[in-house]
A and B are shown apart, each in its own frame.
Chain A
Amino acid sequence: MPDIANTTTNPPVASKSSQMWKRLRRLPITLYIGGTLVSLFVLVALGSFIWTPYPANKLNLTNRLAPPGTPGFLLGTDRAGRDVVTELMLGARNSLYVSVVSTIVAMLVGATIGLSIAGSKRFLQGPLTRLVDAGLALPGILTALVLAAKIGAGNTTATLAIIIWQIPIAARVTIGPARQILALDYVEAAYSYGRRKSYVLRRHVLPNISPLLIVLSSIMFAAAILIEAALAFLSVGVQPPTSSWGRFLNETQSLLEAAPYLMFFPGVAIVLTALGFNLLGDGLRTVLDPQQARSGLA
């Protein structure tokens, strides 16, 4: 097969703006859908600091379980008479908080571990990688339960558990590509200038694998949001009075007969947000790492 990607025909003469259009149009659709959903989520989450229809936990005891469309309550109220829109906005805030903190910390720690393993002595790499693999097998929810038993349920427990769960993931994804780049000629050449391993890892390997890490972060965000919701659902995560989509869902469980529509709101919010981050990751992979994406598509 000839190298199709590297051939260039004489480009048609076109204005700059139409060229930009073309480039934008060539971006994968997943990037647009994912980007839109994620921006919406972030906007709502951050917007909740500025404005919500009602203050947090404002109870409207006369208006409990108001159906959607009730004047003043676009999506109705929950069992305690809290405005659903307000609850959802505050839930987005908690989702964003937990997922940002956990993903950033886990990515930093995990990538560092991964890079260190890739740069470690050859005979150490096998056992260390196996250890990371063992960590991968542990489900995040289990970690959270164990933590919650000891230090108590709450946002911190949830965040900590997600971090512990995601560190091996970030490490594992880093090891392989980092090792490949370390084996490249020009990287080997850097040693001959007397560069130290840590310098090579930081200046040569890290920039090369950063697209991969960005893609992974997006997918880790989605996973963090799902686990945060699951933990809140199990009452192991965030505690009242802080709003959370997962806890909201838990409360609707007993209302399946009385107000079945209620369970849709937090559920749809979780699905769209997780879907958004996953699609964004997929789209970013196509843009940032075309080679890998193409091999995945071809």
Chain B
Amino acid sequence: MFKHTLRSLLTLAFTALLGSIVVFVLLRQLGGDIVTVFLGREAAPIDVSYMRERLGLDSSLIVQYLDWLRGILSGDLGQSYGMGYDIFDEIVRRLGPTLMLTVGGLIVSVPLSLVLGTYSAINAKKVRSSFVDIFTQVGIAIPAFWAGLLLVLVFAVRLGWLPTGGYVPFTEDPVQAMRHAILPVCALSLGVTSVFTRYVRTAMIDVMNEDFMRSAMARGRTRRGAALVHGVRNASIPLVTVAALQFGQLIAGAVVVENVFVLPGIGRLIVTATLGREVVVVQSLALVIMFIILILNFFVDIAYGFLDPRIRDKESSNA
């Protein structure tokens, strides 16, 4: 177990480092100088040199990278050149809505897809499972932003039950916070739930074909009973692996949904910074998002080791 954790930690550190280098080099080298990108080709030379100095672009690329890395670790990412805000503080300030969205999305989609996928797998050859299939196929095809617009149109504009957008922190007013969260979380969850339901279904069907399911039925379990007692437990292993891939999709969805519902989160920040051509801000944000995904993956990796007794044993006997 210790060895498994250590290896996951090393993978995390390695991919994080590699990712940061890729992001940094790409953003600095690709498509010209970042000052020209921001100020335009006809910028006054004095502006250019001032900005270069502010961003520390005169030192070598390696020094710039190390400075940036140190900044991430010490909480100092400099300031937005265009808007003047402190980048690190801004990211911290905007974590709230994004966390609300992604965590809310997980809370809704994971249990829902477990239920739907299991139901569909147990009834795989029956007509009723095709309703789940139709739901997931359509759910995957509906982009989160359109789902968001539809929800706003029906529940906010037409029925007036819920606000059209905006963000209220939970600490400020829990009721309003919930009211503001419902539609964005639903819009985000639709696609994620659909994709995950299909994974659950496949994993469950694979497990249902295992010999030990037949043993369970031979001991007096019904098909459904065997699926619930043995199937869900065993299907969780392949599911945990694909769950990691879903985090990226979840965050991508959050970026889009934040822009539909005007939520002041990371996603909106990165789109605004992108359109303002603030390479330095985007670079730091991309890295923060990447780190979040990698850390989530790390936890999934650890959970994987905890779930499967075979991995647990193999590792401890090796260590």
Q: Is A224 an interface residue (CB 8 A)?
A: no
Distance from A88 Cβ to chain B, minimum over Cβ atoms (Å): 14
The answer to whether B249 and A257 touch across the interface, beta carbons within 8 angstroms, is no
User: Is the CB of A249 closer than 8 A to any CB of chain B?
Assistant: yes
Write the chain A residue with the least CB distance to B157: A256
B274 near A236: Cβ-Cβ < 8 Å:
yes
Which residue of B is nearest A297, CB measured? B124
Main SS at interface, chain A: helix
A-side contacts of B11, CB under 8 Å: 130
Q: Are B157 and A146 interface neighbours, CB within 8 A?
A: no
B303 CB–A CB distance under 8 Å = no
Bound-state Cα–Cα, A148 to B270, Å = 11
Of B143, B157, B273, B282, which is within 8 A of A270 by CB? B143
A interface bracket (residues with beta carbon within 8 Å of B):
35 or more
A148, A260, A275: the one contacting B137 at CB < 8 Å is: A275
Q: Which residues of B contact A147 (CB under 8 A)?
A: 30
Q: Does A153 contact B (CB under 8 A)?
A: yes
Is A187's beta carbon under 8 Å from chain B? no
Which residues of chain A (245-262) have a CB below 8 Å from chain B?
Answer: 246, 249, 252-253, 256-257, 260
Q: Does the CB pair B278–A252 fall under 8 Å?
A: no
Could you say which of B15, B260, B289 contacts A134, with CB atoms under 8 Å apart?
B15
B9: A residues at CB distance < 8 A: none
| B: number of interface residues (CB 8 Å) | 61
A282 to B141, CA, bound (A): 13
Contact B149 A139 (CB under 8 A): no
- Considering only residues 171-186 of chain A, those with a C-beta below 8 Å from chain B are none
Expressed in whole angstroms, the minimum distance between the Cβ of A117 and any Cβ of chain B is 17
A140 at the interface (CB under 8 A from B): yes
Q: How far is the CB of A284 from chain B (nearest CB, A)?
A: 15
Question: Which of B32, B142, B143, B270 is the one whose CB lies under 8 Å from A145?
Answer: B270
**Cβ of A295 and Cβ of B275 under 8 Å apart?**
no
Q: Would you give the shortest CB distance from A171 to chain B, in whole angstroms?
A: 14
B19 near A263 (CB under 8 angstroms)? Answer: no
Task: Indicate which residue in A141, A151, A252, A275 contacts B141 across the interface (CB closer than 8 Å).
Answer: A275
Contacts of B260 in A (CB 8 A): 253
**Interface stretch (choices B59-67, B175-183, B225-233, B240-248):** B240-248
A267-295 contacts to B (CB < 8 Å)? 267, 270-272, 274-275, 278-279, 282, 295
Give the residues from 11 to 70 in chain B that come closer than 8 angstroms, CB to CB, to chain A.
11, 15, 18-19, 23, 26-27, 30-32, 34, 37
In the assembled complex, 17 residue pairs joining A and B whose CB atoms fall closer than 8 Å, in A order, are: A130-B11, A134-B294, A137-B248, A138-B248, A139-B293, A146-B283, A149-B283, A150-B32, A153-B274, A230-B144, A257-B157, A270-B141, A270-B143, A270-B146, A275-B138, A295-B205, A295-B209
A sample of 9 more A-B contacts (CB under 8 A), given A253-B149, A270-B146, A278-B140, is A136-B248, A146-B23, A150-B32, A150-B282, A151-B30, A152-B37, A236-B271, A263-B149, A275-B138
